[in-house]
Amino acid sequence: MKKIIFLLPVYNDWKSLLKVLGEIDLIIEKFSLYEFKCVVVNDSSTIQKPKIVKPKNLKSLTIIDMKENRGHARCNAFGLRYINLKEPYDYVIVMDSDGEDRPVEIIDLINKIRENSEISVVAKRVKRSEGLIFQTLYQIHKIITFIFTGKKINFGNYSCLIKRDIQILSDKPSLWSSFSGSIKKNLSNLNETNSIRGIRYFGPSKMSLFNLVVHSFSIIAVFKYTVFLRSTFIIIILSFLTNVLGLITITLQFLIVLFNLIIFVVSMRENKKALLESNSNILNVSKITH
Protein backbone atom coordinates (compact mmCIF):
# COMPACT_ATOMS: atom_id res chain seq x y z
CA MET A 1 0.00 0.00 0.00
CA LYS A 2 1.44 3.38 -1.06
CA LYS A 3 1.95 5.91 1.71
CA ILE A 4 1.03 9.59 1.33
CA ILE A 5 1.94 12.20 3.97
CA PHE A 6 0.33 15.64 4.13
CA LEU A 7 2.70 18.44 5.18
CA LEU A 8 0.93 21.50 6.60
CA PRO A 9 2.71 24.47 8.21
CA VAL A 10 0.63 26.55 10.64
CA TYR A 11 1.15 29.82 12.45
CA ASN A 12 -1.68 30.77 14.82
CA ASP A 13 -4.31 29.67 12.29
CA TRP A 14 -5.57 26.72 14.32
CA LYS A 15 -9.24 27.23 13.47
CA SER A 16 -8.47 26.97 9.75
CA LEU A 17 -6.20 23.96 10.31
CA LEU A 18 -8.99 22.05 12.06
CA LYS A 19 -11.35 22.74 9.16
CA VAL A 20 -8.71 21.71 6.59
CA LEU A 21 -8.04 18.46 8.46
CA GLY A 22 -11.75 17.71 8.49
CA GLU A 23 -12.03 18.28 4.73
CA ILE A 24 -8.92 16.19 4.06
CA ASP A 25 -10.48 13.36 6.06
CA LEU A 26 -13.62 13.36 3.90
CA ILE A 27 -11.61 13.37 0.68
CA ILE A 28 -9.09 10.62 1.48
CA GLU A 29 -11.90 8.29 2.48
CA LYS A 30 -12.37 7.72 -1.27
CA PHE A 31 -8.79 6.48 -1.75
CA SER A 32 -8.71 3.16 0.09
CA LEU A 33 -5.61 1.94 -1.77
CA TYR A 34 -3.41 4.52 0.00
CA GLU A 35 -2.31 4.96 3.59
CA PHE A 36 -2.45 8.58 4.75
CA LYS A 37 -0.58 10.41 7.50
CA CYS A 38 -0.21 14.10 8.31
CA VAL A 39 2.67 16.19 9.66
CA VAL A 40 1.78 19.65 10.98
CA VAL A 41 4.66 22.07 11.60
CA ASN A 42 3.70 24.64 14.24
CA ASP A 43 5.90 27.64 13.41
CA SER A 44 6.17 28.84 17.02
CA SER A 45 2.58 30.08 17.17
CA THR A 46 1.76 32.75 19.74
CA ILE A 47 -1.84 31.52 20.05
CA GLN A 48 -2.23 28.47 22.25
CA LYS A 49 -2.59 25.21 20.38
CA PRO A 50 -6.05 23.70 20.84
CA LYS A 51 -6.74 20.04 21.46
CA ILE A 52 -6.50 18.34 18.07
CA VAL A 53 -8.22 15.04 17.40
CA LYS A 54 -6.81 12.79 14.68
CA PRO A 55 -9.23 12.45 11.75
CA LYS A 56 -10.37 8.83 11.43
CA ASN A 57 -8.94 8.24 7.93
CA LEU A 58 -5.43 9.36 8.88
CA LYS A 59 -3.20 6.63 10.27
CA SER A 60 -1.33 9.20 12.34
CA LEU A 61 -1.16 12.94 12.95
CA THR A 62 2.23 14.34 13.99
CA ILE A 63 2.46 17.87 15.36
CA ILE A 64 5.94 19.40 15.52
CA ASP A 65 6.28 22.53 17.68
CA MET A 66 9.17 24.77 16.69
CA LYS A 67 11.17 26.91 19.14
CA GLU A 68 11.50 29.95 16.86
CA ASN A 69 9.36 31.33 14.04
CA ARG A 70 11.22 30.81 10.76
CA GLY A 71 8.49 31.50 8.18
CA HIS A 72 6.32 29.47 5.84
CA ALA A 73 8.97 28.47 3.27
CA ARG A 74 11.37 27.25 5.93
CA CYS A 75 8.63 25.23 7.64
CA ASN A 76 8.14 23.41 4.33
CA ALA A 77 11.89 22.92 3.93
CA PHE A 78 12.22 21.55 7.46
CA GLY A 79 9.11 19.41 7.06
CA LEU A 80 10.35 17.73 3.90
CA ARG A 81 13.69 16.92 5.54
CA TYR A 82 11.98 15.64 8.67
CA ILE A 83 9.65 13.35 6.71
CA ASN A 84 12.51 12.12 4.53
CA LEU A 85 14.57 11.20 7.58
CA LYS A 86 11.90 10.03 10.02
CA GLU A 87 8.89 8.66 8.16
CA PRO A 88 8.24 5.81 5.71
CA TYR A 89 6.51 7.40 2.68
CA ASP A 90 6.04 7.31 -1.06
CA TYR A 91 4.58 10.78 -1.65
CA VAL A 92 4.24 14.07 0.24
CA ILE A 93 1.40 16.50 -0.43
CA VAL A 94 2.52 20.00 0.56
CA MET A 95 -0.32 22.44 1.17
CA ASP A 96 -1.30 25.50 3.18
CA SER A 97 -3.41 25.04 6.29
CA ASP A 98 -5.63 28.10 5.83
CA GLY A 99 -7.93 27.01 2.98
CA GLU A 100 -6.18 28.92 0.18
CA ASP A 101 -4.95 25.55 -1.10
CA ARG A 102 -8.38 24.01 -1.62
CA PRO A 103 -8.57 20.50 -0.14
CA VAL A 104 -10.93 19.38 -2.93
CA GLU A 105 -7.99 19.58 -5.35
CA ILE A 106 -6.24 16.77 -3.46
CA ILE A 107 -8.35 14.51 -5.68
CA ASP A 108 -6.67 15.91 -8.81
CA LEU A 109 -3.18 15.56 -7.32
CA ILE A 110 -3.71 11.92 -6.35
CA ASN A 111 -5.34 11.08 -9.69
CA LYS A 112 -2.27 12.48 -11.47
CA ILE A 113 -0.02 10.31 -9.33
CA ARG A 114 -2.17 7.31 -10.16
CA GLU A 115 -1.69 8.05 -13.87
CA ASN A 116 2.08 8.37 -13.51
CA SER A 117 3.56 7.42 -10.16
CA GLU A 118 7.11 8.46 -11.12
CA ILE A 119 6.56 12.20 -11.70
CA SER A 120 5.82 14.85 -9.07
CA VAL A 121 2.73 17.01 -9.56
CA VAL A 122 2.35 20.76 -8.97
CA ALA A 123 -0.91 22.68 -8.74
CA LYS A 124 -0.81 25.30 -11.52
CA ARG A 125 -2.66 28.47 -10.60
CA VAL A 126 -5.30 29.21 -13.24
CA LYS A 127 -7.38 31.57 -11.09
CA ARG A 128 -6.70 33.64 -7.98
CA SER A 129 -9.05 35.07 -5.38
CA GLU A 130 -7.19 38.31 -4.57
CA GLY A 131 -8.11 41.81 -5.75
CA LEU A 132 -7.24 43.39 -9.10
CA ILE A 133 -4.12 45.24 -7.91
CA PHE A 134 -2.63 42.11 -6.36
CA GLN A 135 -3.43 39.99 -9.41
CA THR A 136 -1.88 42.60 -11.73
CA LEU A 137 1.32 42.69 -9.69
CA TYR A 138 1.35 38.90 -9.62
CA GLN A 139 1.25 38.81 -13.42
CA ILE A 140 4.09 41.36 -13.55
CA HIS A 141 6.04 39.10 -11.19
CA LYS A 142 5.59 36.16 -13.55
CA ILE A 143 6.69 38.22 -16.58
CA ILE A 144 9.82 39.55 -14.82
CA THR A 145 10.65 36.05 -13.61
CA PHE A 146 10.41 34.68 -17.15
CA ILE A 147 12.51 37.51 -18.66
CA PHE A 148 15.37 37.16 -16.20
CA THR A 149 15.32 33.40 -15.54
CA GLY A 150 13.74 31.88 -18.65
CA LYS A 151 11.46 29.89 -16.32
CA LYS A 152 7.67 29.93 -16.24
CA ILE A 153 6.73 29.44 -12.60
CA ASN A 154 2.97 29.35 -12.25
CA PHE A 155 2.63 27.29 -9.09
CA GLY A 156 3.16 27.75 -5.36
CA ASN A 157 3.56 25.27 -2.52
CA TYR A 158 0.58 23.07 -3.36
CA SER A 159 2.06 19.90 -4.80
CA CYS A 160 2.43 16.14 -4.54
CA LEU A 161 6.10 15.18 -4.56
CA ILE A 162 7.50 11.72 -5.13
CA LYS A 163 10.13 10.30 -2.78
CA ARG A 164 13.01 10.52 -5.27
CA ASP A 165 12.38 14.22 -5.86
CA ILE A 166 12.16 14.97 -2.14
CA GLN A 167 15.52 13.27 -1.66
CA ILE A 168 16.94 15.51 -4.39
CA LEU A 169 15.48 18.67 -2.83
CA SER A 170 16.11 17.94 0.84
CA ASP A 171 19.70 19.23 0.96
CA LYS A 172 19.46 22.06 -1.58
CA PRO A 173 20.23 25.50 -0.05
CA SER A 174 17.60 27.16 -2.25
CA LEU A 175 14.87 25.14 -0.52
CA TRP A 176 15.50 27.25 2.60
CA SER A 177 14.48 30.36 0.65
CA SER A 178 12.00 29.38 -2.06
CA PHE A 179 9.97 26.19 -2.39
CA SER A 180 8.66 26.71 -5.93
CA GLY A 181 11.96 28.13 -7.18
CA SER A 182 13.82 25.07 -5.86
CA ILE A 183 11.38 22.70 -7.51
CA LYS A 184 11.73 24.45 -10.87
CA LYS A 185 15.52 24.58 -10.62
CA ASN A 186 16.17 21.02 -9.47
CA LEU A 187 13.36 18.91 -10.93
CA SER A 188 13.38 18.62 -14.70
CA ASN A 189 10.13 16.71 -15.10
CA LEU A 190 6.83 17.78 -13.55
CA ASN A 191 3.16 17.04 -14.07
CA GLU A 192 0.53 19.72 -13.51
CA THR A 193 -3.07 20.02 -12.39
CA ASN A 194 -5.17 23.17 -12.65
CA SER A 195 -5.76 24.92 -9.36
CA ILE A 196 -7.96 27.79 -8.20
CA ARG A 197 -6.55 29.82 -5.34
CA GLY A 198 -9.08 29.56 -2.53
CA ILE A 199 -10.16 32.11 0.06
CA ARG A 200 -8.86 31.85 3.61
CA TYR A 201 -11.36 30.20 5.89
CA PHE A 202 -10.80 32.70 8.70
CA GLY A 203 -9.16 36.13 8.71
CA PRO A 204 -7.49 38.14 5.92
CA SER A 205 -4.87 36.76 3.57
CA LYS A 206 -1.30 36.95 4.86
CA MET A 207 0.07 37.48 1.34
CA SER A 208 0.45 41.27 1.43
CA LEU A 209 1.98 43.30 -1.41
CA PHE A 210 5.25 43.42 0.54
CA ASN A 211 5.22 39.65 0.99
CA LEU A 212 4.52 39.26 -2.72
CA VAL A 213 7.66 41.30 -3.53
CA VAL A 214 9.77 39.21 -1.13
CA HIS A 215 8.24 36.04 -2.57
CA SER A 216 9.03 37.17 -6.13
CA PHE A 217 12.65 38.11 -5.38
CA SER A 218 13.17 34.85 -3.49
CA ILE A 219 12.08 32.80 -6.50
CA ILE A 220 14.20 34.81 -8.94
CA ALA A 221 17.23 34.66 -6.61
CA VAL A 222 17.29 30.87 -6.93
CA PHE A 223 18.45 31.46 -10.53
CA LYS A 224 20.84 34.31 -9.71
CA TYR A 225 23.59 33.25 -12.13
CA THR A 226 21.13 33.09 -15.00
CA VAL A 227 19.78 36.50 -13.91
CA PHE A 228 23.29 38.01 -13.94
CA LEU A 229 24.02 36.57 -17.39
CA ARG A 230 20.73 37.71 -18.93
CA SER A 231 21.04 41.13 -17.30
CA THR A 232 24.51 41.60 -18.80
CA PHE A 233 23.14 40.71 -22.23
CA ILE A 234 20.24 43.17 -21.86
CA ILE A 235 22.56 45.97 -20.69
CA ILE A 236 24.81 45.41 -23.73
CA ILE A 237 21.83 45.57 -26.08
CA LEU A 238 20.60 48.76 -24.41
CA SER A 239 24.01 50.36 -24.88
CA PHE A 240 23.51 50.13 -28.65
CA LEU A 241 20.20 51.96 -28.28
CA THR A 242 21.57 55.00 -26.45
CA ASN A 243 21.27 57.26 -29.51
CA VAL A 244 17.64 56.26 -29.92
CA LEU A 245 16.44 56.13 -26.32
CA GLY A 246 18.81 58.61 -24.69
CA LEU A 247 18.38 58.89 -20.92
CA ILE A 248 15.85 56.07 -20.94
CA THR A 249 18.69 53.67 -21.74
CA ILE A 250 20.80 54.85 -18.81
CA THR A 251 17.78 54.67 -16.49
CA LEU A 252 16.96 51.12 -17.56
CA GLN A 253 20.57 50.02 -17.17
CA PHE A 254 20.70 51.54 -13.69
CA LEU A 255 17.46 49.76 -12.71
CA ILE A 256 18.80 46.44 -13.99
CA VAL A 257 22.01 46.85 -11.96
CA LEU A 258 19.95 47.75 -8.88
CA PHE A 259 17.71 44.73 -9.51
CA ASN A 260 20.76 42.46 -9.63
CA LEU A 261 22.07 43.88 -6.35
CA ILE A 262 18.73 43.12 -4.71
CA ILE A 263 18.75 39.60 -6.14
CA PHE A 264 22.26 39.06 -4.79
CA VAL A 265 21.20 40.20 -1.30
CA VAL A 266 18.05 38.05 -1.35
CA SER A 267 20.06 35.04 -2.52
CA MET A 268 21.87 35.16 0.82
CA ARG A 269 18.67 33.80 2.38
CA GLU A 270 19.76 30.43 0.99
CA ASN A 271 21.56 28.62 3.78
CA LYS A 272 22.49 24.96 3.51
CA LYS A 273 23.86 24.83 7.05
CA ALA A 274 20.61 26.19 8.48
CA LEU A 275 18.62 23.73 6.39
CA LEU A 276 20.68 20.72 7.46
CA GLU A 277 20.51 21.79 11.10
CA SER A 278 16.85 22.81 11.04
CA ASN A 279 15.91 19.93 13.36
CA SER A 280 17.68 21.82 16.16
CA ASN A 281 14.69 24.20 16.15
CA ILE A 282 12.33 21.44 17.30
CA LEU A 283 10.72 22.10 20.68
CA ASN A 284 8.37 19.13 20.86
CA VAL A 285 7.02 16.31 18.69
CA SER A 286 3.70 14.68 19.45
CA LYS A 287 2.21 11.86 17.38
CA ILE A 288 -1.48 11.02 17.62
CA THR A 289 -2.29 7.51 16.39
CA HIS A 290 -5.76 6.94 17.83
pLDDT at 108 (0 to 100): 96
User: How many angstroms separate the CA atoms of 278 and 268, rounded?
Assistant: 17
**What pTM, to 2 d.p., does this model score?**
0.92
Beta-strand pair 155-162/121-127 = antiparallel
Residue 155: partners with Cβ closer than 8 Å, 6 or more residues away: 122, 123, 124, 125, 180, 183, 192, 195
Does residue 33 belong to any structural domain of this protein? yes
Does residue 162 belong to any structural domain of this protein? yes
Does residue 143 belong to any structural domain of this protein? yes
Does residue 82 belong to any structural domain of this protein? yes
Expressed as residue numbers, the domain containing 74 is 2-222+266-282
User: How many angstroms separate the CA atoms of 247 and 254, rounded?
Assistant: 11
pLDDT at 82 (0 to 100): 97
Does residue 133 belong to any structural domain of this protein? yes
Count the domains in the chain.
Answer: 1
- Backbone φ and ψ of 204, nearest 5°: -75, 160
pLDDT at 137 (0 to 100): 78
Q: Average pLDDT of the chain? A: 92
pLDDT at 138 (0 to 100): 77
* Domain containing residue 45: CATH number: 3.90.550.10
Does residue 260 belong to any structural domain of this protein? no
Does residue 197 belong to any structural domain of this protein? yes
Q: Point out the residues of the chain with pLDDT beneath 50.
A: none
- Backbone φ and ψ of 286, nearest 5°: -125, 130
Q: Of 50, 48, 43, which Cα lies nearest the Cα of 18? A: 50
pLDDT at 244 (0 to 100): 79
Q: Of 148, 147, 269, 154, which Cα lies nearest the Cα of 218? A: 269
Does residue 257 belong to any structural domain of this protein? no
User: How many angstroms separate the CA atoms of 215 and 120, rounded?
Assistant: 22
pLDDT at 144 (0 to 100): 92
What are the counts of helices (DSSP H) followed by strands (DSSP E) for the chain? 11, 8
pLDDT at 125 (0 to 100): 85
Beta-strand pair 121-127/282-288 = unpaired
pLDDT at 276 (0 to 100): 95
